[in-house]
Structure 1
Amino acid sequence: MSPPLDAQLTDVRAHALKLEDEVNKVIVGQSKAVRLMNTAIFARGHVLLDGGVGVGKTTLLQAIARGIGGAYERIEGTVDLMPNDLIYHTYLGDDGRPKIDEGPLLRAGENLSVFFFNEINRARPQVHALMLRVMAERHVSAFKKEYRLPHMIVFADRNQVEKNETFEIPSAARDRFMMEIPIEIPTDRDLKKSLIFNTKFQNAEKLTQQVESGILHFDQLNAFSEQLQNHIKSSDVLEEYALDLWDATQHPEKFGVKMESVDVTRVIQTGASPRGMGMLMKAARVNAWLNNRDSMYPEDVHAVFHEVISHRLVFNSMYENRRTALARELTANIMSTVAVPSTTFSKAA
Structure 2
Amino acid sequence: MALGEELQDWRSDALRLEDEVGKVVIGQQQTIRLINVALFARGHVLLEGGVGVGKTTVLRAFARAVGGAFERVEGTIDLMPGDLVYHTYVDAQGKPRIDPGPLLRRGEQLTTFFFNEINRARPQVQSLLLRAMAERSVAAFDREYRFPHMTVFADRNKVEKEETFELASAARDRFLFELNMPTPEDAEVRRALVFDTAFHDADALVEQVRPGVVAWERLNAMGAAIQRGIHASAAIERYLLDIWQATEAPQRFGVALEDVEMDRLILAGASPRGMSALVRAARVNAWLGGRSHVSPDDIQAVLPAALGHRVFFTPIYELRRQELAQALIDAIVARLAVP
TM range (shorter): over 0.9
- Deviation, structure 1 residue 95: 1.5
1:122 CA drift (Å): 1.4
CA distance in structure 1 between the aligned counterparts of 2:335 and 2:13, rounded to whole angstroms? 36
Matches within 5 A, 1:172-211: 172-211=170-209
The root-mean-square deviation of aligned C-alpha atoms, in Å, is 1.1
More divergent stretch after superposition (154-163 vs 279-288): 154-163
Return the alpha-carbon distance in structure 2 between the equivalents of residues 237 and 325 of structure 1: 31
Q: Name the CA distance, whole Å, in 2 between partners of 1:83 and 1:49.
A: 22
Contact 2:133 2:152 (C-alpha < 8 Å) held by counterparts:
yes
Paired positions, count? 339
Q: Does 1:231 align with 2:212?
A: no
- Say which is worse superposed, 168-177 or 299-308, in terms of deviation: 168-177
Quote how far apart the aligned CAs of 1:194 are.
Answer: 0.7
- Indicate the residue corresponding to 1:86 in structure 2: 84
Give the deviation of 1:97 after TM superposition. Answer: 1.9
For 1:261, what is the secondary structure of its paired residue?
coil
Partner Cα separation in structure 2 for residue 45 and residue 291 of structure 1: 19
- Report if aligned partners of 2:21, 2:61 keep a CA contact under 8 Å in 1: yes
Specify the code of the residue in structure 2 equivalent to 1:208.
V
Q: What residue in structure 2 maps to residue 142 of structure 1?
A: 140
Query: 5 Å matches for 1:300-315?
Result: 300-315=298-313
> CA shift at 1:175, angstroms?
0.9
Q: Does structure 1 conserve the Cα–Cα contact (< 8 Å) formed by 2:51 and 2:159?
A: no
Deviation at residue 109 of structure 1 after TM alignment: 1.1
The corresponding residue for 1:63 is 61
Residue 248 of structure 1 corresponds to 246
Does the aligned pair in 2 maintain the 1:284–1:304 contact within 8 Å?
Answer: yes
Cα distance in 2 between the residues matched to 1:101 and 1:43: 33
CA contact (8 A) 1:140 1:148 kept: yes
| Aligned match for 1:121, one of 119, 122, 143 | 119
- Amino acid in structure 1 at the alignment position of 2:129: M
Question: What is the aligned-residue identity percentage?
Answer: 55
Q: Find the aligned partners of 2:162 and 2:203 in 1 and give their Cα distance.
A: 31
Counterpart position of 1:96: 94
Structure 2 equivalent of residue 262 of structure 1: 260
Unaligned runs of 5+ in 2: none
- Aligned residue identity for 2:79: L
Compute the displacement of 1:265 (Å): 2.2
User: Could you tell me how far 1:261 is from its partner in structure 2?
Assistant: 3.0
**Structure 1 residue runs without a partner (length 5+):** 342-349
Alignment-derived partner of residue 275 in structure 2: 277
8 Å contact kept, 2:283–2:298: yes
Question: With structure 1 as the length reference, what TM-score do the two structures score?
Answer: 0.95
Contact 1:122 1:159 in 2 (8 A): no
Aligned partner letter, 2:123? P
Give me the whole-angstrom Cα distance separating, in 1, the residues matched to 2:156 and 2:35.
Answer: 17
Report the alpha carbon displacement of residue 54 of structure 1 after superposing the two structures with TM. Answer: 1.4
**TM, length-normalised to structure 2:** 0.98
SS, match of residue 47 in structure 2: strand
Match of 1:169 in 2: 167
Q: Which letter does structure 2 place at the counterpart of 1:249?
A: T
1:243 Cα offset (Å): 0.5
Runs of 4+ in 1 over 6 A off after TM superposition: none
